[in-house]
Amino acid sequence: MNICIFAASSSKIDKVYLDAASRLGEIIASEGHNIVYGGGDIGLMGALADAALKKGSKITGVIPSFMHENGWEHNGIDDIIITEDMGSRKKKMFEMSDAIIALPGGIGTIEELTEAIALKQLDLFRGALVILNTEEFYSPFIRFLEDIIDKGFMRNVHKRIWTVADNPAKAMEAIRKYRDWHDDPVSIARI
C-alpha cells in the first residue's frame, strides 16, 4: 500500500512531534508499506523519511521544481518526482496514494488536509484519511470542522470522512480497519 504523508518541514518544532513522525515511519516500513510524501529532508518530513529508510521502506518524494532548485529534497531517497508547482505536487501525491495520514504541520499541511477532506466528500479520493493528533495539535482544527457541521455547511455523516488518532500505532490501525465512509458520497455532497 502507498501511504501519503502530509507533514511539517519546520526545523523549529518540539521533539515530541519529531519522535511521533519517526515512529510512524518505522511502523509503515515494518508493515511493508510504501511512503509518498513531500520529499523534504527536515522537520517531520525528514524524521519520517530517515526512520522509514533505516527500516527499508520504499519512499517516493514529490517536490515542486522551485524546491528542487533550492536543494530542499531528501538526498537519501531514490525516487524523487519533480512537479511544475504545488498544485501538481498534491495532485500527483493523491493519484499515487491508497491512504493519507496528516501529521502536524503549518499552513501547507493544513491546506493539503482540507483538500483531502474535500476530495473525499466529492468521491474523488476513496482511501482512508487519518489525522495524527500528536499532543492534541489538531484538536482546535477538529473542533472547527465540527462547528462547520453544526452550522450546516457539511452534513453530520461527513465526520466519517476522517479518523483521528492520537499516536502512530493507532493511525496505522485506523488504516487497516478502514471501510469506505459512504457508499455513494456524491449523492450527499450537495447540502
Domain ranges across the chain? 2-188
Report the pLDDT value the prediction gives residue 130, as an integer from 0 to 100: 98
Report the pLDDT value the prediction gives residue 163, as an integer from 0 to 100: 98
Report the pLDDT value the prediction gives residue 146, as an integer from 0 to 100: 98
Provide the β-strand partners of residue 34. 2
Give the pLDDT mean for 101-109: 98
For residue 85, the SS3 value is coil
CB 136 within 8 A of CB 40: no
Q: How many Cα atoms within 13 Å fall on the side-chain side of residue 77? A: 30
Q: How confident is the model at residue 191 (pLDDT cuts 50, 70, 90)?
A: confident
Q: How confident is the model at residue 154 (pLDDT cuts 50, 70, 90)?
A: very high
Q: How confident is the model at residue 120 (pLDDT cuts 50, 70, 90)?
A: very high
pLDDT, tens only, 122-141: 999 999 999 999 999 999 99
CB 51 within 8 A of CB 29: yes
CATH entry, 2-188, from 2.40.10.120, 3.40.50.450, 3.30.70.150, 3.30.470.30: 3.40.50.450
Give the pLDDT mean for 39-56: 97
State the Cα–Cα distance between residues 75 and 79, nearest whole angstrom. 10
Q: Is the pLDDT of residue 157 over 90?
A: yes
